[in-house]
Every structure is written in C-alpha cells, then in structure tokens.
Amino acid sequence: MKLYNSAMPAPNPRRVRIFAAEKGISLPLEEVALAKREHKSDAFRGKNSLGQTPVLELDDGTAISESVSICRYLEEIHPENPLFGRNALERAQVDMWIRRVEFVLMGPVGNFWRHAHPYTAKVVKQIPEFGESNREATAAAMRWFDRELEGREFILGGYFSAADIMALCVVDFAKFAGLDMPEDTPHLHAWHKRMSARPSAAA
C-alpha cells in the first residue's frame, strides 16, 4: 500500500504520517502537489472524488480517504501500540476528543484559512469579514483547550493517543495560517512543546 501525501503545511496528510511513525509503520509516499492543483486532476479524483489528500491506496487498488479513517485502518491491521484507546472507555474518549478537535478547534481555523488567508484567495471566493471573525473564535477555542489540559500530560491524561496527533496538526496549521496560540494558554503551550518533542512530530 502507499499514501498519497502532500507536504507541510497540509495538516491532514501529516496526521497520517505521524500516526504511522508512532506505530512503526513504513508507508511509501506518493507526493501530490497542492500548489500545482494535482489533487484536482481527473486521475486523482478517480481515487478521491473530493480531490483531497491524503488517500491510502491498498495493494488491490482500494482507496481510503479521510485522515482519521486511514488511521483507523492502520490501527486495525497493526493493533500493537493502540492509539485509539486500550479499552472501551478510552476508545470513546479518543472519539470524543477527535470530534472536539475537528469541530471546536479546526472549524474556526478552517474558516479563517478559507476566507481570510491570501493563499486561498487564489482558489475560493472569500468572505473576508467572516474569515476574520474566526480569529477570535480560534483564540477562544484554544483557551478552552488550555483549560482542559490543566494537569494533563496528554489529552487523555497519561495516555498518548490519536487525539493528541490530530490536535497537534491543527495547532501547527493554525500557526502557519497566522493564528498563534494566545500567550495566556500555559497548559496548551506546555502540551504543544511535549508533543513537538516526540520524534514522530517530524514525520
């Protein structure tokens, strides 16, 4: 199998690269250049009709899209060192936190990226006022996240999970987009420093 990948700062392919690195899985990468719009080609849309990366292509040609779904597949075929939870409670908590990361944090970051960033102005019709309104929404989400992280090494306390991977990629992408962590978020800053120090973060 191989992963159709896009380089930094694309957050979703990075999620899969970090997950695979944490699991010790070697994934051949096929680069898809977003700047060249290769993900919108007819050939690539044959693998993912939405024209988005990443895509995991299996040996029989089956294609799996969506970063969390790809990571779940990898977890199923490589169950050692589980990252989606070690029991029923943790699995539910990981799911809960991934949804929170995507809706509470990535939601406003994505809206800002689409509607207020000069790069995306080249490819989408922007509503700049709406985009800018997500700057404070992102800061509020990060402050909420900071409060949740107080006293925790990882999002689930003492257990490093896929939720940490998903959140790290969002926070780093937010910084690339121009949305830094607020200064008054010490727990978020400390968590981010710990996650960034893991070897997998460089994947």
> pLDDT tens digits, residue range 62-96?
999 999 999 999 999 999 999 999 999 999 999 99
Q: Are residues 93 and 145 in the same domain?
A: yes
Domain holding 171, by residue range, is: 88-202
Residue 64 belongs to domain with CATH number: 3.40.30.10
169 burial type by CB count under 10 A (0-12 exposed, 13-18 middle, 19+ buried):
buried
Q: What is the pLDDT at residue 45?
A: 97
Question: Does 21 have pLDDT greater than 90?
Answer: yes
Evaluate the CA torsion angle 144, 147, 152, 156 in order and state its sign: negative
Do 102 and 162 sit in the same domain of this protein?
yes
- Residue-wise pLDDT for 38-71, tens only, equals 999 999 999 999 999 999 999 999 999 999 999 9
State whether 98 and 56 are in the same domain.
Answer: no
- Give the whole-angstrom CA distance, residue 109 versus residue 171: 9
Of 55, 77, 99, which residue constitutes the final position of a domain?
A: 77
Q: Assess whether 147 and 62 both reside in one domain.
A: no
Return the CATH number at 181: 1.20.1050.10
Q: Distance between alpha carbon 52 and the CA centroid of its chain, in Å?
A: 13
Do residues 67 and 123 share a domain?
no
On the 0-12 / 13-18 / 19+ scale of CB atoms within 10 A, 121 is middle
Helix (DSSP H) and strand (DSSP E) numbers for the chain: 8, 4
Amino acid identity at 145: F
- pTM of the shown model: 0.94
Q: Please name the amino acid found at residue 201.
A: A
CA angle 120, 122, 127 (to 5 degrees): 60
- 121-141 per-position pLDDT tens digit: 877 889 999 999 999 999 999
